[in-house]
């Protein structure tokens, strides 16, 4: 098994009012040195064995493009880990 | 003529749409489950507001892969009218039937109130019953109604006169005050405000009736479209 960690976040040009609300709350709590907050989505996909690295890259990119991220406003990246080792 | 009103798990405006068509517009209408795979026999398809699949992941992102969607895409490509309202608009952008996407309102608040819109284009099949520049009042009720597209897409929307409704007092941060757009072919409209909630005076406004009357007029003048 492999563990795929997918990170989806808004493109730089997109306003993220939720992240701004979190940032303001941190300032209210006194963390004046926090200059920026990003708030996105994180997925862990457990993938069965049997695919080559290239096949897995192809599949994960397809999943991200189709469903996990909206290319219009979001970017994504992912890391592939050995699931047993990760546990 | 016969309208289809699509139903997804979490839709909540389907009966408002159904009743608007049946009682006010006085045309045939049928609810169509997201599990169906055909829209045969319908002249127009309406996608209601609500929170399909709880808005999980992104608004409309999961509904977009429902069994009914390929039939809807085929329906749209054959030139038949498709209208998505609120969550319906979000589903249409996710399904690639309309450009752009709907983001969180700039205020990060859910906004539920009447808004004044200006009819920016009255020669679409959805707006022919209005005058260009006419001001109409329709309710909005959304958290993700902030229409976003890149500058190139916006230029194209303007060049092809695809912006049908604009807010006069932008409530949510939408690019160019956009409240509703059509595709380039002109037969798919997405809009965040709710015309079906403004179809008789007892509801506070009957300004939304024109959207449905425009569709009926278009279909009756054009005749049956075969897929």
In chain A, whose CA is at the least distance from the CA of B90? A70
Question: Could you state, in order of their start, the residue ranges of all structural domains in chain B?
Answer: 2-222
pTM: 0.94
pLDDT (tens digit per residue) in B38-79: 999 999 999 999 999 999 999 999 999 999 999 999 999 999
Indicate if the pLDDT at residue B222 is higher than 90. Answer: no
Which structural domains are found in chain A, ordered by start?
Answer: 2-86 (3.30.1280.10)
Q: How much is the ipTM here?
A: 0.85
CB B193 within 8 A of CB B119: no
Average pLDDT (B186-213) is 97
Q: Which is catalytic among the residues B7, B13, B14, B86? A: B86
Residues of B in contact with A19 (CB under 8 A): none
Give which of B58, B51, B73, B70 is closest to B7, Cα–Cα.
B51
Task: For B208, list phi and psi in degrees, rounded to 5.
Answer: -80, -15
**How far B38 CA lies from chain A's nearest CA (Å)?**
23
Separation of alpha carbons B183 and B187, rounded Å: 7
List the alpha helices (DSSP H) in chain A.
17-28, 53-63, 83-86
Read off the tokens for B83.
Answer: 């209208």
The CATH fold of domain B2-222? Rossmann fold (3.40.50)
In chain B, whose CA is at the least distance from the CA of A41? B57
Give which of A20, A79, A67 is closest to B57, Cα–Cα.
A67
Give which of B196, B130, B137 is closest to B167, Cα–Cα.
B137
């Amino acid at each position: 098994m492999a563990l795929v960690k997918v990170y989806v976040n808004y493109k730089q040009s997109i306003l993220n009012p939720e992240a701004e609300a979190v940032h303001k709350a941190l300032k209210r709590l006194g963390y004046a040195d926090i200059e920026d907050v990003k708030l996105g989505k994180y997925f862990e996909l457990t993938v069965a064995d049997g695919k080559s690295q290239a096949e897995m890259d192809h599949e994960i990119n397809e999943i991200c493009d189709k469903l996990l991220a909206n290319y219009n406003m979001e970017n994504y990246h992912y890391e592939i880990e050995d699931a047993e080792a990760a546990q | 003529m016969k309208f289809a009103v699509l139903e997804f798990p979490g839709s909540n405006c389907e009966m408002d749409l159904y009743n608007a068509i049946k009682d006010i517009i006085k045309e045939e209408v049928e609810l169509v489950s997201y599990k169906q795979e055909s829209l045969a026999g319908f002249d127009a398809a309406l996608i209601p507001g609500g929170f399909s699949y709880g808005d999980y992941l992104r608004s409309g992102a999961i509904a977009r892969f429902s069994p009914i969607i390929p039939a809807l895409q085929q329906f749209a490509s054959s030139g038949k009218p498709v209208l998505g309202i609120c969550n319906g608009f979000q589903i249409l952008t996710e399904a690639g039937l309309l450009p752009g996407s709907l983001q969180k309102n700039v205020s990060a608040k859910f906004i539920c109130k009447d808004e004044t819109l200006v009819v920016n284009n009255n020669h679409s099949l959805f707006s022919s019953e209005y005058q260009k520049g006419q001001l109409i009042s329709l309710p909005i009720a959304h958290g993700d109604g902030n229409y976003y597209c890149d500058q190139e897409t916006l230029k194209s929307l303007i060049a092809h006169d695809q912006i049908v409704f604009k807010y006069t007092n932008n409530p949510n941060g939408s690019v160019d005050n956009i409240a509703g757009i059509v595709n380039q072919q002109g037969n798919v409209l997405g809009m965040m405000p709710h015309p079906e909630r403004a179809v008789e005076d007892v509801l506070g406004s009957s300004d939304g009736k024109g959207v449905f009357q425009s569709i009926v007029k278009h279909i009756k003048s054009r005749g049956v479209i075969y897929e």
